[in-house]
Structure 1
């Protein structure tokens, strides 16, 4: 049975995509801790961090760094945070988010009440920052599709 993330990547469930390449996608979470909170997800169904081949994990880390730099620019954040939890979905994903303090690192502060228009605006803001940083080739043409 495909994971939730595979179903999103395959277009069965909607997602807000800000990055796509042949190995990974980045989409905004529907329960952000801070505005712009994104998930770096491998296209391959890898259950958890320790199951990932080293080359895939290295690629995901570089993508996370690139997204973090764009988040810092887009939200004028002093830091970009990287969290790996993965208990809720058995498909590896890295949480990357603009951070201002330690509360920016707590899933207890995740919001499930963010209006769709606000999530769309955050996605476009991050997509614009990625383009401005020279990564337009990896920004999908359509917010709702992981295809380039």
Structure 2
């Protein structure tokens, strides 16, 4: 059975898409730690980061860096935090989180945003992609 992320990539589940290339996909987390919290995923469904071959891993990290640079330009934050946890969805995903304080990185509190706010943030980030 396809993961929820594969279903997002396939367009079966809507998302606030940020970027896509031939191998990777980025979209806003709908339960964000902070506004702009973005997930970067490989299009090929792989359960764990350590299961990825070196080429796919490097591709995902390059893609994530590109998205992080756009996030940094578009969101009010001190830096972009990156983490790979992957316990909830069996599909590798990189969390890019705009950090203003350490609590933004804890996954203990969530920002509440309207669909309009999500779309405005997604558009702002997309506009900074190079």
With the shorter chain as reference, the TM-score category is over 0.9
Partner of 2:52: 52
Shift of 1:63: 1.3
1:1-148 equivalent positions in 2, closer than 5 A: 1-111=1-111, 113-130=112-129, 135=130
1:71–1:77 CA contact under 8 A, matched in 2 = no
Shift of 1:72: 1.2
Between the aligned partners of 1:114 and 1:75, the Cα distance in structure 2 is: 15
Between the aligned partners of 1:61 and 1:96, the Cα distance in structure 2 is: 11
Structure 1 vs Structure 2 CA RMSD: 1.1
Moved more, 85-94 or 97-106: 97-106
Between the aligned partners of 2:109 and 2:53, the Cα distance in structure 1 is: 31
Q: Structure 1: give runs of 5+ residues left out of the alignment.
A: 136-148
TM-score (norm. length: structure 1): 0.83
Q: How many residues align?
A: 130
Q: Structure 2: give runs of 5+ residues left out of the alignment.
A: none
Between the aligned partners of 2:5 and 2:87, the Cα distance in structure 1 is: 13
Between the aligned partners of 2:91 and 2:110, the Cα distance in structure 1 is: 20
Give the match's secondary structure for 2:103.
helix
